[in-house]
Structure formats: C-alpha cells, structure tokens
Structure 1
C-alpha cells in the first residue's frame, strides 16, 4: 500500500516536472499533457513491453492517465510559483526514482527473470520516462550525462534484491533500499556528485 502511494506521488511529480520542460519548449496544452503522461508512465511501459508483461499499467488502470495528464495541466496554472518549490520537487523526484525502481524489480521477480535482469527492469522503470521526455524535448537525456541518476537506480535495486535474497523481511528491505536511494540521490544533487565524463576532442582526420 505504501509503495503504491509513493508510486502515485512519483508519477504526479514526474508529470509536473515534464510539464515545465514542455513549457520551456513552448508546447501547447495537448503537448504538455502528452509529455507528462509519457514521462510519468513511459518507464513502466518500456519495461513491460520488453518483458512481455501485459496489460500495461495505464491500460489496466486508465486513471493513471488522468492523474498524470491532470497534474501536467495543473502545472500550467501554478507555473509562476514552481521555482519556490524546487527542492520539494527534487525530493519527490528522488522518491519517484526509488519507488519506480523497486516496483520494476518486483515485476521482474514475479516474472521469474534472473536477478541482473530484475535490476535492469528496475532501472528501466525508474529512468526511461526521463529519457523519453528529454528526447521529445530535443535535449541530451539526463541519464546519459554525468549526474548520478541511473547509478542510484541500479544500486537501489541491487540493495533491495540483495536484502530479499538474504531472507530479510520485505518491508525492512524496502525501507532500507528506499532510504539509501533517496539519500544518495539528494546528496548527489546537493554536493554535485557526478560520474566521470568521457571527453574526446581530437580530430580523426
């Protein structure tokens, strides 16, 4: 129940941040709503398509489309004060990332895939929505830049699945993994921790 609540919080937060990205690209209201839905639900959809897990979550629960599209459109009305809520949305984004990751890992486990694939399923759930948003906005995806994002998802998923493999209580493992992932993501933003960059500028000719 808690994880489902955090999932709803996460998709709403993701939809609202996507709406701001749409606004920076001067999209119309349909574009804002569509980008919000794609960002919030795209990771889970990509995971389910790759794993053959049907029906997709938003097909089974059409209300998710209403939540995400509604949150994106609401953002248009409150956009002027959104900058005052920057840290609140960064925290909610961290919540969404770790919640999506654990949900993706659970889907992989239920389908009986190997542990490494379950970790990848968690990362896809947590990160691909943001990739789709950035691609549609013609930006270099955050996932492919230096920020600690995908790595947080992978570590969170590995910790979660590792705890379950050791036979620890599910709720305890989930709490530990989520606390670790959220803390690492927020610290990475605050302290500006980055992954090493690959820079190649030499001309081959």
Structure 2
C-alpha cells in the first residue's frame, strides 16, 4: 500500500514542482530539475544525512523516469490543472504521510535511536518542498504559517509510539497514515497555523 501511495505522491510532487518552475518562467531543464528535487529531494537529503547508500532513487531508475515524465507532461496540461487543485491537496497530504513513514522505516532499518527516526521521517516529508522553494527563490512554505512539518512530526511520533507498544507493522502504518491525513485535513479546513514571529527595526 505504502509503495503505491509513494508512486502517486512522487508523481503529484513532480507536477507541483513543475508548476512552481513555470511560475518562475524556467526552461525545460529548469522544470525537470525542480520536478526532481520536489519529488525525490527529501529522500536524497535523508539518505545523505543518515549515510544510507546507495541513495534510494539510484536503485530504482523507474522513479526518476516517472518524475521527469510527470514534470514535463505538466508543461503541456498546465492550463487545466487549476481545476484539480483539491485533488493535488489530497495527493500532497498523502505524499507527506508516505514520505514521512518511509523516512522513519529507513532510519529504523539502520538502527538509529528514536529521535533520529522521527527527524528522518520529517526530513523525508518536507525537504523536497523546501528545496523546491529555495530553488524558486521563495520562502519555503513549511517555514511559514501552514501546519505541514508539524503534521509530519505528529505522524512520525505516533508511528514510533505504536511500534514501541508492539502494534503490528501494517496496522501501525495504516493508523499513523490516517491520523496524519486527518490532522492535515483539519489544519487546512480550520486554517490552523503556528504562531509567527515578526521582527523589524525602527528603520524598516
């Protein structure tokens, strides 16, 4: 189940990355790069930080072809994508959950302590979007008002907690995934956000 969601997620993330590149008037190479880092950047950063080699996508070239194809296809169908905004929101939330849980599993397989497992999940979940926004010269969305990284953090924490309580792996994945999805949906619906910090000097 998680693999199928992951494939849907990297496709959707590649498309959102391509749209971000289009808003910056990038060429086809730029679109491809932004689609790649959005979809696969989080896992790449995680693998490099954890020393998990070879990097995951290098062992599955089909993922790379899927991401690049999705990004390039987006340039052709972009005018009609605004009608699918709600679908993208759902796919993005599914991707966040899938990436986060996969990140936790990678760290667990390497026998890292609990705090590193949770951080690994969050990094996998949010770093693709951070790289996308940095490359597009925007303040990363995750550093602004939306509950995004916080949702990943809660999902990873629930997953680790249930695992420590001996919950079956498949059940744990399903429960953690659904809790994360519900929290993300509530955050969007109720416009929940973290407090912001604004600092300006008198001369500004």
The verdict on a shared fold, with TM-score over 0.5 as the criterion, is yes
Structure 1 residues 42-121: aligned runs within 5 Å: 42-121=41-120
Partner residue, 2:19? 20
Partner residue, 2:175? 176
- For structure 1, which segment, 181-190 or 136-145, has the greater mean C-alpha deviation from structure 2 after superposition? 181-190
Q: Distance in 1 between matches of 2:73 and 2:191?
A: 30
Q: Distance in 2 between matches of 1:33 and 1:185?
A: 28
Q: CA deviation at 1:170?
A: 1.0
Q: Distance in 1 between matches of 2:188 and 2:23?
A: 22
Cα deviations by residue, 1:134-192 (Å, 9 ceiling, x for unpaired): 00000000111111000000000000111010001111111111111111112212221
Q: What SS is found at the alignment partner of 1:193?
A: coil
- For structure 1, which segment, 186-195 or 142-151, has the greater mean C-alpha deviation from structure 2 after superposition? 186-195
Conserved in 2, the CA contact under 8 Å of 1:90 and 1:186? no
Q: Distance in 2 between matches of 1:93 and 1:74?
A: 18
Q: Distance in 1 between matches of 2:105 and 2:163?
A: 11
Q: Distance in 2 between matches of 1:16 and 1:175?
A: 26
List runs of 5+ in structure 2 lacking aligned partners: none
Q: Distance in 2 between matches of 1:112 and 1:173?
A: 18
Partner residue, 1:154? 153
Q: Distance in 2 between matches of 1:116 and 1:83?
A: 39
Partner residue, 1:6? 5
Conserved in 2, the CA contact under 8 Å of 1:123 and 1:154? yes
List runs of 5+ in structure 1 lacking aligned partners: none
Conserved in 2, the CA contact under 8 Å of 1:105 and 1:119? yes
Q: Distance in 2 between matches of 1:202 and 1:124?
A: 33
Number of equivalenced pairs: 204
Relative to the length of structure 2, the TM-score reads: 0.97
Partner residue, 1:122? 121
4+ residue stretches of structure 1 with deviation over 6 A? none
Q: CA deviation at 1:131?
A: 0.3
Conserved in 2, the CA contact under 8 Å of 1:37 and 1:69? yes
The alignment's C-alpha RMSD in Å is 1.2
Q: CA deviation at 1:76?
A: 1.0
